[in-house]
Chain A
């Protein structure tokens, strides 16, 4: 390997270390699994809930978790 290439390669390694790595897909899938579990939990709660005020709140929360799940899937697809 040429010396300039060796220096270039080591600079690349150092730069990538300094900039940080993109989020790994393994971490995202773990997060997706956790969010999926949360959605099921919220859905089950929603079925049992009668109070319209509380239902509205929980529905909002459910929408947020769904949005987070969607966002994480978009990140995985990148």
Chain B
């Protein structure tokens, strides 16, 4: 309902404003150009989020102070707290950073946004900024027509800055001209009523423009032109901070639980900070004077003083909130609970990560491991063993020989409900992600898609094996029983080894990947021996020709399953962050080399 009324109202007010005042038109155009510049800037920085930013985010969020610093630095460089928020939400959703670290980043981003006010106050309003805007726009647009993603990115950043500067120029010009016809400062309200009124105006302006940065620049330009009083500008700045929270909340309505929690943290932070600023306004004003005196800001340089105020109250907010960060996270977990997820549902795939390639790959890898876990359970039961027996038995061969319990369950039904749904979700996510991420990551995506398919194939092979394995593990014919138990052992041993290698720490993943080659050769050797034994027992008529046919067929299923499982493990154990992983990937043996190594 609100949305339906809001847009026509805004359009009507703007239309009326344009009709009565050409200066208002200039100011509004300035704001629009500024916002357009921000869009360009965000688009440009996204070109670089493919690697550096994401890697940095992962490495620098293990401690709260590092998360804070990341928030400050990244927002200062990109001048967009919303882009930082989006990346943070995507990382939390993918389980790559904790909510506490995410909250730290958001707190830091609040300090980072204050640098924008400094730049505009110190530079944007004191020089003829449009002179810089024009060449930036020209170079930016030329570069953004280039084929290379990075040149395009640089182009968008340059064009974005150009538009920002041009927007500031128009706002400045508009306010300068406006004061000749209409003195907005005459509408100033003093004291607490003014504080609340202008804070509300600041919040409303930010909700409409969806950017506290734009509101702040508008406040600074109006202040520089003398259209608002210094006192009211402070209230407007407080309102802009609160308004950005409302924007974040509106944005989080369609976001996942992690996005909602982070928006919740943002809301609490900005409300607390706003409240502190309003309650202690006189102390803040005194502090601003004190800082200004000490850093040499002129008495009448109100725009710089506003920048000092903006920084001071945001830093105060961070200082107050940081000690409470863990409690805040606990509270948000409680207030915004996550629905318990069915294991058949994807746990790590989230559309929020789709534009960040490194995160996409990490989430995908986690999800394929999740698929492996689901398939592991089905495969274990398919060969009538418990998962714990495979993973924990001190003598696996003996356990398999002795355990004759038949696991009664419908493998088809479980395949449909536990594996197929997850596999479908992975494939759908990959197809969707391929539209967004650069070709550089295509090979890795293909590898993960193949790994998922191989896992599914393994379950299908076990489904075929299950019938005879169940039948012959209870057979009175010892020879066929031994051979089928051997097939069961091979599957179990591979599953167990993959599980062990997977749990090695990250550094050893490269070696684990190479150890899979050893397993492949070992399995080949065993299969050659098994092949010989089958011929032998058949020749000696210890098993019937019917049994031999079944055994040979099932042997092929086991062979395929072993190969698929080991290839999958190798694909999943690739770790780009590891020092020797890259080298290990080159050294992995091919089929012929393994054949050679396993030859007698």
A binding-site residues for B, Cβ under 8 Å: 10-11, 14, 17-18, 20, 23-24, 27-28, 30-31, 34-35, 38, 56-57, 60-61, 63-65, 67-68, 71-72, 75
Within 8 A of A (CB), among B572-600: 579-580, 582-584, 586-589, 593-594, 596-598
Are the CB atoms of A31 and B510 closer together than 8 Å? yes
Interchain CB contact (< 8 A) of B593 among A14, A28, A67:
A67
For chain B, give the interface size range. Answer: 20 to 34
Residues of A within 8 A of B518 (CB): 60-61, 64-65
Q: Distance in Å from the Cβ of B522 to the closest Cβ of chain A? A: 6
Are the CB atoms of B148 and A14 closer together than 8 Å? yes
Interface digits, B292-331 against A, CB 8 Å rule (1 contact, 0 not)?
0000000000000000000000000000000000000000
Residues of A within 8 A of B517 (CB): 64, 68
Q: In whole angstroms, what is the CA distance A11 to B440 when docked?
A: 16
Are the CB atoms of A61 and B522 closer together than 8 Å? yes
B binding-site residues for A, Cβ under 8 Å: 148-151, 438, 440, 510-511, 514, 517-518, 521-522, 525, 579-580, 582-584, 586-589, 593-594, 596-598
Are the CB atoms of B151 and A27 closer together than 8 Å? no
Q: Distance in Å from the Cβ of A76 to the closest Cβ of chain B? A: 9
A-B contact count (CB 8 A): 76
Identify the interface centre among B438, B584, B589: most chain A CB within 10 Å of its CB.
Answer: B584
Interchain CB contact (< 8 A) of A56 among B149, B525, B586:
B525
Q: In whole angstroms, what is the CA distance A35 to B583 when docked?
A: 12
Q: In whole angstroms, what is the CA distance A10 to B514 when docked?
A: 37
Q: In whole angstroms, what is the CA distance A57 to B593 when docked?
A: 17
Q: In whole angstroms, what is the CA distance A57 to B510 when docked?
A: 22
Chain A binding surface SS class:
helix
Q: In whole angstroms, what is the CA distance A68 to B438 when docked?
A: 32
Interchain CB contact (< 8 A) of A63 among B148, B514, B521, B586:
B521
Interchain CB contact (< 8 A) of B521 among A23, A30, A31, A61:
A61
Q: Distance in Å from the Cβ of B18 to the closest Cβ of chain A? A: 43
Q: Distance in Å from the Cβ of A73 to the closest Cβ of chain B? A: 10
If A56-B525, A60-B521, A61-B521 touch, whether A68 touches B583 (CB-CB below 8 Å) is no
Identify the interface centre among A10, A17, A18, A61: most chain B CB within 10 Å of its CB.
Answer: A61
